[in-house]
Structure 1
Amino acid sequence: MTSQTTADLLATQSNDSSFENVWDEIVYRGLVHVSTDEGALRELLAGPPITFYCGFDPTAPSLHLGNLVQLLLLRRLQLAGHKPLGLVGGSTGLIGDPRPTAERVLKTREQTAEWVDKIRVHVERYLSAAGENGLRVVNNLDWTEPLSAIEFLRDIGKNFRVNTMLKKDAVSARLNSDAGISYTEFSYQILQGLDYRELYRTFDCVLQTGGSDQWGNLTSGTELIRRTEGVTVHAIGTPLITNSDGTKFGKSEGNAVWLDATMTSPYAFYQFWLNQEDTDVIDRLKVFTFLSRAEIDALAVQVAERPFAREAQKRLALEVTSLVHGTDAARAAIDASAALFGQGDLTVLPGDVLEAAIAELPHADVDGTTTVSQALVATGLVASLGAARRAAAEGGVYVNNERVSDDSVTVASLALGGKHAVLRRGKKTLAGVTVAS
């Protein structure tokens, strides 16, 4: 995080005034994949302030890209005057929602409590605590832990039908797998339903948001409230963010893009957005930025007419990196990108930014005796020492943006701080080298 404060960040944000209703804007931005009654939701969100919530389980020490979708949806609803509740799952985090493939490894109470505190900080960064519709953070351990097993089964479990629970996508997938599903994870949807009812009773909460893959858990709450309270409440399921081959981004898939700078560096985060495909970038701008419809339409024209300029990707990367890590970190990432390709000075980059940039390149660890030729081979920039010598003789080898014609010099003698070096062959082929101390 940089010197940019949460107040600074939130002060720059607004909904697009060209939309009559916040419902229309979130639909335009592709934030509604599935929902309860659309007409009722549109009317509800156009009326007096309502209370709404989203839950975040502490199954890791950081939130990730999918959670950012929820946080931005919550922020848009808050900007429209509605009242957000951010739920951190001190109890559901001890259980874990069922994954489609395998049982989760349960975390200790101490680990879960530590991660609850980290998740709370993330949630508080993206939503304002000021005013009558300021953020309120709640922990479901507060109302779940006092329940006895008998109370849970009689008062809550009695309202759920096993045949309905079995039809939920995650449960069905696990039942048809070799792993099966434990009673613990099978019960997760009951706990989430209990959360919604508790928030309805305490805060008059009438809307829950979550990922569309959680739809079964979302509707467990709407059904419990209908059965026990006799009222209709609502849910919105957002689309899953996938890469170009349709694979979901997330910790379960091993390709999570984390919001914590120690887990995904601001440089790597910036590069992720910069590398979005032309076919995806406009949708990403709609979901992840506060740019207006007019600004996004103008960038769509740029994509169509001048795709090689990648203006939309550059703006996307700047906006989202600034949102998550601050403007200083975003500018440092831009400077690092330019410097790596010879359009800036590597020596002025902060050490952590340089290390993060090098970590994203094909990389080799070498010792103090390794020559430039050997490093080129070790990093895969050339296939052989002979090819390395020819590339250097032809003027196509650079170390830290300085042309190297003598390939027999050691990398250590050219490394920044005697430790890091960026090797470049030609204009665009890069690799990183770290010299062992």
Structure 2
Amino acid sequence: MAKFDILDDLKWRGAINQQTDEEGLRQYLAKHDDLKLYCGVDPTGDSLHIGHLIPFMILKRFQMAGYHPVIVIGGGTGMIGDPSGRSTERVLQTKEQMDHNQACLTAQMKKLFGTENFQIVNNADWLGKMNLINFLRDYGKNFQVNMMLNKESVVKRLKNGISFTEFSYQILQAIDFYTLNKNYGVQMQIGGADQWGNITDGINLIHRLSGPDTPAFGLTIPLMLKSDGTKFGKSAGGAVWLDPEKTSPYEFYQFWINQDDRDVVKYLKYFTFLDRAEIEDLAQKTAQEPWKRAAQKKLAAEVTKFVHGEAGLQEAQMITDALFSGDIKSLSVKQIEQGLKNAPSAEAADESKNIVDFLVDTKIESSKRQAREDIKNGAIYVNGDRQRDIDFDVDPDSAFEGKYVIIRKGKRKYTLVKIK
């Protein structure tokens, strides 16, 4: 049986932007089963977001193919700040903030990668021990300022100014690759398209200090764009986080299930581990029966399960099904808060009130006449039950622990009424 060709698979998935030495990497993979590859993440926040999944999916694919992924938490570089993609200087974080963020990110990455055939290291372990003289003599002499000034991340900042601190970031990242290669046996770095210069700097440093024949490779990932030309990774509410306290599994699921038909096949290739036959079948279904949204449902299920586990997926699907069908009585208060987080909301006092007055007071209906008409026509649901009786009293204590009254008008127009 032929050995799985991960590079061909990545190409088919549209996951490769540039490679430093494709032929050399192919030859290495043909002779060795011990490839170690890494991606870095600076602990500038206490949660990863779906933008981080872009390089991590590549690491995961290599892990599943039997290779050894390494993630570098930038406890050292995070104290400096990567200028890539920024127009201004970063606000430097305290060590306490960094320590907290590192602990949170480490837990998230262990959840994605498990503990076998996977390693997390912290570049503070080597960068933090380096003194200034050694930095300048051992590493600074290998970098030409004129070349450093031509880096895209630097060029964009020169107009408004860039500190020496952030200017030196590219050297620190090169030191990371050299150290990982020398002390951890890492042969390859993966990063976004904007990291190409930093990756090649690392390879050049390895070849200068360890010899030109030392195996060292780089691979960058294409910038992920939606079909409308905008950058992938944002929702209407901002970043989509992997932390369930920041973005609930339901919201996470909804982000993926609402993807455009024009994008869904691309995302299936990139963000799921489905094989070619399954993805091509879903592509055909999208073309022939787009209204069924089979591809979107499969995409949402696969990515949610990968990030939040089977339990997170089941909860997201249960909330989705309940809100779609209107059968919300089985949902808990927490699930209601997840599912209706972005729904229109109103407030009401903790007292029973006639349904007509309740609808008008919460501005769900514009007038008592309209409220009576909608109630009689069966368009109003209170806590999942259709109400046709204009004399019905809404009792806040009857459901959802007395915290909410859920009004549905029509098929799926929900209002979350919070009880004061």
TM, length-normalised to structure 2: 0.90
In the TM superposition, what is the alpha-carbon distance from 1:377 to its structure 2 partner?
6.6
Distance verdict in 2 for CA 1:377–1:27, change over 3 Å: farther
From 106, 110, 118, the counterpart of 2:104 = 118
From 397, 400, 411, the counterpart of 1:416 = 400
1:41 aligns with 2:22: no
Paired residues, what number? 413
- Is the CA contact (8 Å cut-off) linking 1:209 and 1:236 kept in structure 2? yes
1:20-50 deviations in Å (ceiling 9; x for gaps): 4011111111221222133333333343121
Distance verdict in 2 for CA 1:250–1:181, change over 3 Å: farther
- Is the CA contact (8 Å cut-off) linking 2:192 and 2:222 kept in structure 1? yes
- Is the CA contact (8 Å cut-off) linking 2:405 and 2:417 kept in structure 1? yes
Structure 1 SS opposite 2:115? coil
Structure 2 SS opposite 1:208? strand
Letter in 1 for 2:170: Q
1:25 aligns with 2:16: no
1:357 aligns with 2:339: yes
- What residue number does 2:53 align with? 68
CA distance in 1: counterparts of 2:237 and 2:193, whole angstroms: 20
Query: Residues 197-216 of structure 1: matches in 2 within 5 Å?
Result: 197-216=178-197
My pick for the range that moved more, 167-176 or 181-190, is 167-176
Task: Give 5+ residue unaligned stretches, structure 2.
Answer: none
Distance verdict in 2 for CA 1:37–1:379, change over 3 Å: farther
Distance verdict in 2 for CA 1:157–1:367, change over 3 Å: farther
Distance verdict in 2 for CA 1:385–1:127, change over 3 Å: same
- Is the CA contact (8 Å cut-off) linking 1:289 and 1:319 kept in structure 2? yes
1:127 aligns with 2:128: no
CA distance in 2: counterparts of 1:372 and 1:96, whole angstroms: 56
Distance verdict in 2 for CA 1:116–1:375, change over 3 Å: farther
In the TM superposition, what is the alpha-carbon distance from 1:145 to its structure 2 partner?
0.9
Distance verdict in 2 for CA 1:316–1:404, change over 3 Å: same
Q: What is the RMSD of the two structures over their aligned residues, measured on CA atoms? A: 2.6
Distance verdict in 2 for CA 1:86–1:406, change over 3 Å: same
- Is the CA contact (8 Å cut-off) linking 1:375 and 1:433 kept in structure 2? no
From 77, 81, 84, the counterpart of 2:62 = 77
Distance verdict in 2 for CA 1:206–1:404, change over 3 Å: same
Structure 2 SS opposite 1:247? coil
- What residue number does 1:298 align with? 281
1:81-102 deviations in Å (ceiling 9; x for gaps): 2222111111111112114222
Letter in 2 for 1:421: V
Structure 1 SS opposite 2:396? coil
CA distance in 2: counterparts of 1:270 and 1:335, whole angstroms: 11
Structure 2 SS opposite 1:205? coil
From 29, 35, 38, the counterpart of 1:53 = 38
- Is the CA contact (8 Å cut-off) linking 1:168 and 1:216 kept in structure 2? yes
In the TM superposition, what is the alpha-carbon distance from 1:313 to its structure 2 partner?
0.8
Task: Give 5+ residue unaligned stretches, structure 1.
Answer: 1-16
My pick for the range that moved more, 377-386 or 145-154, is 377-386
- Is the CA contact (8 Å cut-off) linking 2:305 and 2:313 kept in structure 1? yes
From 293, 301, 311, the counterpart of 1:310 = 293
Structure 2 SS opposite 1:421? strand
Distance verdict in 2 for CA 1:201–1:359, change over 3 Å: same
Distance verdict in 2 for CA 1:155–1:277, change over 3 Å: same
Distance verdict in 2 for CA 1:73–1:384, change over 3 Å: farther
1:201-253 deviations in Å (ceiling 9; x for gaps): 112321101122322322221222233333362111113334454333569x9
- Is the CA contact (8 Å cut-off) linking 1:52 and 1:207 kept in structure 2? yes
From 172, 195, 198, the counterpart of 1:191 = 172
1:332 aligns with 2:324: no
From 195, 212, 220, the counterpart of 1:237 = 220
TM, length-normalised to structure 1: 0.86
Letter in 2 for 1:47: K
CA distance in 1: counterparts of 2:358 and 2:17, whole angstroms: 49
Letter in 1 for 2:62: L
Structure 2 SS opposite 1:87? strand
My pick for the range that moved more, 425-434 or 402-411, is 402-411
- What residue number does 2:350 align with? 368
In the TM superposition, what is the alpha-carbon distance from 1:168 to its structure 2 partner?
2.1
Structure 1 SS opposite 2:247? coil
- Is the CA contact (8 Å cut-off) linking 1:379 and 1:431 kept in structure 2? no
- What residue number does 1:270 align with? 253
- What residue number does 1:86 align with? 71
Letter in 2 for 1:109: K
**What percent identity do the matched residue pairs reach?**
42
Structure 2 SS opposite 1:417? helix
- What residue number does 1:11 align with? none
Structure 2 SS opposite 1:284? helix
1:251-308 deviations in Å (ceiling 9; x for gaps): 9x98221111111111100111111111111111111111111111111111001100
Structure 1 SS opposite 2:313? helix
- Is the CA contact (8 Å cut-off) linking 1:267 and 1:333 kept in structure 2? yes
Structure 2 SS opposite 1:405? coil
Letter in 2 for 1:215: W
- What residue number does 1:106 align with? 92
- Is the CA contact (8 Å cut-off) linking 2:286 and 2:293 kept in structure 1? yes
CA distance in 2: counterparts of 1:371 and 1:218, whole angstroms: 67
Distance verdict in 2 for CA 1:294–1:356, change over 3 Å: same
- Is the CA contact (8 Å cut-off) linking 1:332 and 1:349 kept in structure 2? no
Letter in 2 for 1:56: V
Distance verdict in 2 for CA 1:214–1:381, change over 3 Å: farther
